[in-house]
Structure 1
Amino acid sequence: MTITSNPEPVSTSSTRPKAPVDKQRFMIRMTGVIVGGMFIDGYILGIIGTAIGAATAELQMSLLWEGLIGASALIGIFIGGPLGGWLADKFGRKPTFTLDLAMFVVCSFLQFFVDSAWQLFAVRLLMGVAIGADYSVGWPLLAEFAPARKRGKLMSFSEVAWYLGFMLAFAIGYVMTSAFSLDWRIVLGSSTVPAVILFLARLGLPESPRWLMNQGRTEEAHQVAHDYLESPAEVLDLTSESTRKGTFGMLFSRDYWRATTFISVFWFCAVTPYFAIATFAASVLSDYGLGDGFGGAIGVNGLALAGVVASLLLIERIGRRKLTIPQQWVCAAVLLIIGLWTSAPPAVILGCFLVFAFANAMCTALTGVYPGEIFPTEIRGIGTGFATAFSRVGAALGTFLLPWSMHHLGAGPSMLVAAGVCVVGALVSQALAPETMGRPLSETSAPRRGGRDTAKAAL
């Protein structure tokens, strides 16, 4: 008698759910709890712009402290990105994904009680550390569960959530401070509410099957894949995973230095001018004669949200490169116009800022897609974390230096510097950005040793 083996992995009660999982509903939940992390990141970075004035007056802060507090969360992300990525690659996505948000909840709540500049800086710095860790585990986790045919759309949705959080925080903060005259501590501490909801929603999520496979826990990996992955092709692609241990040095090896350079420089150049302009949008637009700047600031942030929505709708139709490169050239062009035509009518200046916001957001949506796709499992966390940290150097510099630059150099030269940053990003992306649309992770994260990969990446 011939005995045939069962091709399905044998499961145990400790690793298999008691009832079949609705895979589509699970994917919606997974996407929601990951993009929620991006929402609260955008929220805390947007809310500070509406509360910093009152906090500065009450705490009698110097310009140095004001700049440090404005950039504190970004500095924290710089620390938390690599740290969280290392933890996620070494100890797993699941525990890091839960603990980083727990840390955020605690620190967010502490904002209600700060009474000095250094306390506010320290609390928001730790919140940034937690958010940085969330970047480094959330995107890899989503990439490792999402089917290739809609991976880009699901991952770019995180950028929609970020801009929504940033814009909503700006509007809520403005209403809280202007209409209700609430204490700035309440304004900042309002981030605790969405953070608690998100923390509860994350409880009970499974570990990444690709991380389990990379750790040599093959049976567990197949069980999780069988239970939660929608596509049989994704389950089959697990067999391409190795048990090679990742190291930080691999990011700069012959196989992956191009991927590391591309995503780090691209992300840096995309967020640096946006953070500088959007954080201080009201004051920047006011300097150009646009009243108190609030209406224009809402327009800038609103167009940014529309830009990432446009990318979300197009990313699985036209690919990654066509949403990455042309938009950076558009940003450079409109900032160049603003910088050179200093006497332009206010309507022209506002129109240029709105075009910049839309085009910049379209390409920035890809910063939520590429990291999870171009690094292999063993360094997906640390690679995302390094790129996150590198980008936040630019974001922090833009946020910290723009007030100084506007005051000492003037609006025109400040915008010319921002245009130059966009040009650098466009050139690097033109040379190194891969096309990853519709391809399994085993292909998108494969070593690249000769310029662009083998995909058809021409525009």
Structure 2
Amino acid sequence: MSLETGAVISGPIVREETTAAFKRRFMIRMIAVLTGGMLLDGYILGVIGPVTAVMKAEMGMSTVDMGLIASAALFGILIGSPLGGWAGDKFGRKPLFMIDMGLFVLASAMQFFIDSVTMLFAVRLLMGIAIGAEYSVGWPLMSEFAPARLRGRLMGVTILAWYGGFMIGYTVGYVLNLPEPMPWRIIIGTSTFISVILFFARIGLPESPRWLWSKGRKNEARTIARKYLESAEEMADIESAEVRQGRFADLFSVKYWRMTAFVSWFWFCNVLPYFAIATFADSVLEQYGLNGGLAGGVGLSMVAVAGVAVTVALIDKAGRRLFTVPPQWITTVVFLVIGLWSGAPSAVVLGLFLVFSFLNAMNGTLTSIYPGEVFPTEVRGVGTGFAAAVSRIGAGLGTFLLPIGVEKFGVSTTMLVAAAVVFSGALVSQLWAPETKGKSLSETAAGFSH
């Protein structure tokens, strides 16, 4: 009798709920809670953009203060992602998955009561720490449950949610900050409502069977795998893995240093220009005589969502490298044209920014896929967390330095710096980006060690 009909297999009895329909429902729930976490990350970064002017005026912030506040959540991710990854590898994905969202609920609610620039920075930093843990626990959890044939698509959906969250957040912030504005504390605090829903939706999710196996808890791993995983082949792949305790130092060992370098730098070079331009879309576009407002911030995000959607639809058929390498080379050219052609017509500049947004989003989709695939189970959390931390150094630097760079050196020079950053990412990807389409996690994690 087949697994779908509830057969008895060696070991624990496979209960009635382990049907194909049950597994589909579980995967839908897993996708929903994971995409919700990424939506929150995009939301908190998008919602603050339209209210920055009001915050600056009310609290007497300097340009440096504004850069720090805008990048506080990013620097929080820098702290939270490696810590969350280490804890997730050591204590399990499941407990950290609840703890990070509980921390986010608490920090988000504190936004309603902000009374100083220092408190605002501290709260946004704390929210970033929670989101950082989400990266380093949520993505490994998804990769460890997703079937190989759909893994790229399912992991990519989380990035679609991130861009969607940024767009929704920016729209909410803009609409609520119209001529009769709602208090900015309430506007940025709206993330609390989303996080409360997600916290309760996560209750009862299982531990990763791959993590359990890596800790030698084989019977528990088999029980959960039979209940939730799609096929017997996935369980066989788990059983082929070593029972091994991972260490942070493993990321820089002879066996794994190239995977760490590739994922970290590729991610860094993708997010640095995006966060800088998207967060300050209005001011960047105005430098070229273009109207900002809702169309500026949301327009770039809408094009980005389209780029992610195309990638998600094709990633498991066309492969990873197609969406990793070419978009970076083209984006390098785009920034060179913007930086060198100072007298370009506004329509051309806008078109180039839209091309950048589309291609950067295509490329950015792989930042959710590669970490979960190339790191082995015992360091998947800390590896993802380390790479996320490096990427958020880039995102934080871009967000913090862009307004200062435009003010000091002009937007053309700033765009040339962006071109240099993207070029370095393209070169690293050209040399090291692996093709992991359709491979099991054991195969993808072994790719850099040969």
Match of 1:10 in 2: 12
Alignment of 1:240-389 (within 5 A): 240-389=240-389
User: Per-residue CA shift, 1:108-129, capped at 9, x if unaligned?
Assistant: 0110000100000000100000
2:48 aligned counterpart, secondary structure: helix
Shift of 1:300: 1.0
Give the Cα separation in 2 of the matches to 1:385 and 1:430. Answer: 23
Give the Cα separation in 2 of the matches to 1:30 and 1:212. Answer: 18
Match of 2:224 in 1: 224
Give the Cα separation in 2 of the matches to 1:45 and 1:184. Answer: 14
Shift of 1:179: 4.9
Match of 1:126 in 2: 126
- Structure 1 range deviating more: 420-429 or 61-70: 61-70
Match of 2:5 in 1: none
Give the Cα separation in 1 of the matches to 2:44 and 2:63. Answer: 20
Alignment of 1:10-409 (within 5 A): 10=12, 19-20=17-18, 22-409=22-409
Q: Kindly, what percent of the aligned residue pairs are identical?
A: 56
Is the Cα contact below 8 Å between 2:323 and 2:362 reproduced in 1?
yes
- Structure 1 range deviating more: 18-27 or 325-334: 18-27
Change (3 A) 1:17 1:56: farther
Is the Cα contact below 8 Å between 1:284 and 1:293 reproduced in 2?
no
Give the Cα separation in 2 of the matches to 1:65 and 1:77. Answer: 19
Is the Cα contact below 8 Å between 1:76 and 1:126 reproduced in 2?
yes
Is the Cα contact below 8 Å between 1:241 and 1:442 reproduced in 2?
yes
2:261 aligned counterpart, secondary structure: helix
User: Per-residue CA shift, 1:284-320, capped at 9, x if unaligned?
Assistant: 1011101235423322111011111111011011100
1:197 aligned counterpart, secondary structure: helix
Is the Cα contact below 8 Å between 1:266 and 1:428 reproduced in 2?
yes
Is the Cα contact below 8 Å between 1:255 and 1:447 reproduced in 2?
no
Pairwise CA RMSD:
1.3
TM-score (norm 1): 0.94
User: Per-residue CA shift, 1:322-344, capped at 9, x if unaligned?
Assistant: 01000011111111111000111
- Structure 1 range deviating more: 343-352 or 17-26: 17-26
Give the Cα separation in 1 of the matches to 2:180 and 2:431. Answer: 51
Give the Cα separation in 2 of the matches to 1:295 and 1:242. Answer: 52
Match of 1:456 in 2: none
Give the Cα separation in 2 of the matches to 1:349 and 1:291. Answer: 12
Q: Which amino acid aligns with 1:296?
A: G
Give the Cα separation in 1 of the matches to 2:274 and 2:17. Answer: 46
Shift of 1:448: 2.3
User: Per-residue CA shift, 1:87-131, capped at 9, x if unaligned?
Assistant: 100000000000000000010011000010000000010000000
1:132 aligned counterpart, secondary structure: helix
Change (3 A) 1:179 1:146: farther
Is the Cα contact below 8 Å between 2:281 and 2:292 reproduced in 1?
no
Give the Cα separation in 2 of the matches to 1:247 and 1:292. Answer: 47
Give the Cα separation in 1 of the matches to 2:116 and 2:344. Answer: 42
2:230 aligned counterpart, secondary structure: coil
Is the Cα contact below 8 Å between 1:167 and 1:302 reproduced in 2?
yes
Is the Cα contact below 8 Å between 1:285 and 1:297 reproduced in 2?
no
Match of 2:3 in 1: none
Is the Cα contact below 8 Å between 1:156 and 1:308 reproduced in 2?
yes
Shift of 1:60: 1.0
Shift of 1:71: 0.4
Give the Cα separation in 2 of the matches to 1:220 and 1:445. Answer: 23
Give the Cα separation in 1 of the matches to 2:332 and 2:132. Answer: 28
Shift of 1:47: 1.0
Give the Cα separation in 2 of the matches to 1:347 and 1:84. Answer: 44
State whether structure 2 residue 410 is matched by structure 1 residue 446: no
Is the Cα contact below 8 Å between 2:17 and 2:227 reproduced in 1?
no
Match of 2:421 in 1: 421
Segments of structure 2 that go 5 or more residues without pairing to the other structure are 1-7
